[in-house]
Amino acid sequence: MFFGEHQHLLVTVTALTVLIAFSLVLYAYLKRKINTSAFIGTFTLGVIILLTFGLEFGYAGVLVLLAFFLFGNLVTKYKYDRKAKLGVAEGNKGMRGMNNVLGNGLSPLFFAVLYALSRDNVLLLGFSGAIATACSDTFSTEIGQAEGNPRLITTLKKVPVGTNGGVSLPGLGAALLGSGLIALVSLSFINPYLCSGAQPNLKAIFFLVCLLAGFFGCLIDSLLGATLEDKHFYKFRLNKHGVNIIATLFGGIFAILLGYFGGL
């Protein structure tokens, strides 16, 4: 009886989460926060996440993805006019496209697919760490460029706002905030996870791992920005979206390693 009630509750929560997520993404599309390709890409990514995580964790995966979508769009508007005057604001009045979806979504999708194949719960950390990295980097960029006096992460020399690899104290603080927000939402993975006899302090460890992984991934993004971004490798040029893919992958891997060391 309990199992049946639990399944019914999961179905209800999943349906509500999907309905809310679709409504908010559609609203963002109608308000031109994202273009058509980004709308299709976000919808497709959400469906795949839902299917790969299944009934047990699908709603949590969609919820974490939705949180990043909302937080990312909101923080883009932070002092947008100031950033526009500096020439560093997101183009098209902050409207996101397919490249943004791919840059921030491919690595989380990778960990979700691995979870579907292995059913290893530590991959939930990989997924959460990857999205925490994406949110951390977005917050760091959008707030740091509006508030900070950046220094190059590799040399600590002062650089103009918008320089690849530039970091500032406001930006680093924003990075922690962005990572922390996703880490908090990622705790939605915990309730069904606890049913398998996990340790009592799992929530605190899960949160801390996601927080650190997201922040670490953001630093990796800055390092790649300072050293490899816009560099040509044969006929290939590593742009900011490629850097995002690599950084979010590192963030997810770091979360998994921390999870193993933390006994998760």
Range among 9-13, 52-56, 251-255 with highest mean pLDDT value: 251-255
Q: What angle do CA 220, 222, 224 make, to 5 degrees?
A: 70
Write the pLDDT tens digit of every residue in 91-137.
676 688 999 999 999 999 999 999 999 999 999 999 999 999 999 99
pLDDT(67) > 60: yes
Q: Round the average pLDDT of the chain to a whole number and report it.
A: 91
Considering the entire predicted model, what is its pTM?
0.93
Nearest CA among 91, 106, 102 for reference residue 37? 102
Token pair for 171:
């930006």
Residue 10 included in any domain: no
Residue 135 included in any domain: yes
Residue 20 included in any domain: no
Lowest mean pLDDT among 55-69, 71-85, 88-102: 88-102
Q: What's the first-to-final CA gap in the chain, in angstroms? A: 29
% of the chain exceeding 70 in pLDDT? 93
In this predicted structure, what is the pLDDT of residue 193? 45
Residue 14 included in any domain: no
**Which own/partner pairs from 78-81 qualify as long-range (CB within 8 Å, at least 24 positions apart)?**
78/142, 78/143, 78/146, 79/146, 79/147
Residue 87 included in any domain: yes
Arithmetic mean of pLDDT, 205-232: 94
**Domain extent for 205:** 66-93+106-261
Q: DSSP assignment, residue 189?
A: G
What SS3 class is residue 233?
strand
